[in-house]
Chain A
């Protein structure tokens, strides 16, 4: 039983830390803002969620303290993580941040152009 409980605590925390490190590496190595948004909105969400799950199991199984606030935090991260990535990349595109040269296809440029013309923004 103790082995199982230890696994439930150690495994999520190690996976979470691994994914947070991956986020940091991705943020440094990826070429432009939009590819960095991928790393920031996915790996960071899952990483922090896994760490929180590990903490939840630690306090529940070893300290006999069931803490629902951690579970609420996980749900909150789950809802807000992708919205953050979406809003950051959208506002940067409208503000005129150029995508990387390797980008092969750009359907969005004309749509933003049309939108700006409609609303009279330069």
Chain B
């Protein structure tokens, strides 16, 4: 990903020198032409096209903001509801992510989403221990997290 981005910048600068137009708009034209060249040459790169990854990162960010707002609405409902009838629980969730930064990102995402806070990560980093504020079905909650966040993070990292 980094290599393709650097190549794109280099192509943009080459375009600026070729057209001797050292302005922002000249750079942008070179950048867009560079994207077209990289898309045409994509079968010479081992990794995926970097635009796919950038798009995956944007999707992850949008998902994050949506879940953050939903989480706050849920806390709001719980805090102002007249009787405290929630069912808190600690449950274990196995994760397939391997890199440290992926697990850190996943636990931040889980912490900022509706009803869950990560309390402990096991020593081998294969299991996350999560505290849920209102627990009806553990398996369902695990599936939810797996299908939304873990998949979105994997989409960013797999090359």
Contact = CB atoms under 8 A, between A and B. Distances in A.
Contacts of A89: 117, 119, 131
Interface residues of B, number: 34
A90 B84 contact: no
Interface of B: 68-69, 71-72, 75-76, 78-80, 84, 86-92, 107-108, 111-112, 115, 117-120, 122-123, 127, 129, 131, 133, 135, 138
A19 to B, nearest CB: 6
A79 B108 contact: yes
A35 B119 contact: no
Contact of A85 (B76, B111, B135, B138): B111
A86 B119 contact: yes
Contacts, number: 115
Contact of A26 (B79, B127, B129, B135): B79
Interface of A: 18-19, 22-23, 25-26, 29-32, 34-35, 37-39, 41-43, 45-46, 79, 81-83, 85-86, 89-90, 93, 99-100, 102-109, 111-112, 115
A19 B76 contact: yes
A107 B132 CA distance: 12
A25 B112 CA distance: 19
